[in-house]
Amino acid sequence: MMLPFLFLFCLPAVVDVSLAPDQPVPFVYCDDPLILEIHAPRDVQVSGFLLFKPNNNDKRIEVAIEPFTMPANSGYWYVVSDAPGERGFFSVDIKLDCGNETLEKTLRYCRIDRPAFLHNIPVFVHCGGDEGSCSLDSIRSVG
């Protein structure tokens, strides 16, 4: 009876990836960077490439992901600085080499224009209490 449960615990942990994790839907402003979020249950060396395919033409753009080490049990945000910045719908073939495991996935997102009537919104973080009482652990996850 316990054998199926023990088998589940012995399976290797899976690396997961998503695009634009800071957005409720994968819409990214044309002037914003594209964020690739990677989750892994253990410290792992990550490398790979992304193949961008615009919906409106046959142009293909390949972007290499330079090797980096990501911490265990946290989301790591990798900024894809060479992602296409023009407006439109994109499909992205993702291939990541994560230690002894390879992840292949296709995701989609849309680049949109920023509304012209909006102004830049200032960012403010207040943790309360004395200085140094708030640690922003998410900062270490931004690549």
Residue 123 lies in a domain: no
Residue 25 lies in a domain: yes
CA gap 59, 73 in Å, rounded: 36
Residue 87 lies in a domain: yes
The pLDDT, as a whole number, for residue 90 is 95
The pLDDT, as a whole number, for residue 15 is 84
Residue 109 lies in a domain: yes
The pLDDT, as a whole number, for residue 94 is 96
The pLDDT, as a whole number, for residue 1 is 56
The pLDDT, as a whole number, for residue 129 is 63
Residue ranges making up the domain that contains 98: 11-115
Residue 121 lies in a domain: no
CATH of residue 37's domain is: 2.60.40.10
Which residue ranges in the chain fall short of pLDDT 50?
5-11, 139-143
The pLDDT, as a whole number, for residue 54 is 94
Residue 54 lies in a domain: yes
Model confidence, pTM: 0.69
Q: pLDDT (tens digit, 9 = 90+) per residue, 18-50?
A: 999 888 888 999 989 999 999 988 899 999 999
List all residues 6 or more positions away from 39 whose beta carbon is below 8 Å from its beta carbon. 15, 16, 17, 74, 75, 76
* Number of domains observed in the structure of the chain: 1
For 12-134, list the strands marked E by DSSP: 16-19, 27-29, 34-40, 44-54, 61-70, 74-80, 88-98, 101-112
